[in-house]
Amino acid sequence: MVRMYDKREMMNKCLDEICPQIRKMLEKAQPGTRYCNVRLDVGQKFQVNIADQGYVVSLEEHICPYRQWNLSGMPCSHALACIHFMKHDSVA
């Protein structure tokens, strides 16, 4: 009960739109976006190339073959690169 109270108080003081732990996870994935070469495909689908590997990322369906986004709901560096390519906010 004390832990839950402390967490609730911490979140009441937080002015950010998202939880601080989620913000840390997004910031941790951010440096990986610098190696991504993003090309717009069709609609909200993108071809993301890193060195010799290619991924097709769908922003509409929240799908990346890397599967982190599918399993955890947190966008991977490939998805973040596409989000920034479209000049969207990574929080939404």
Q: What is the mean pLDDT of residues 51-57?
A: 90
Say if residues 46 and 40 touch (Cβ distance below 8 Å). Answer: yes
The model's confidence at residue 56, banded by pLDDT at 50, 70 and 90, is very high
Tell me the sheet residues that pair with 74.
none
Predicted pLDDT at 49? 93
Indicate the domain borders of the chain: 2-85
CA distance 69 to 66: 8
Average pLDDT in the chain: 87
Q: What is the pLDDT of residues 66-86, one digit of tens each?
A: 888 888 888 989 999 999 998
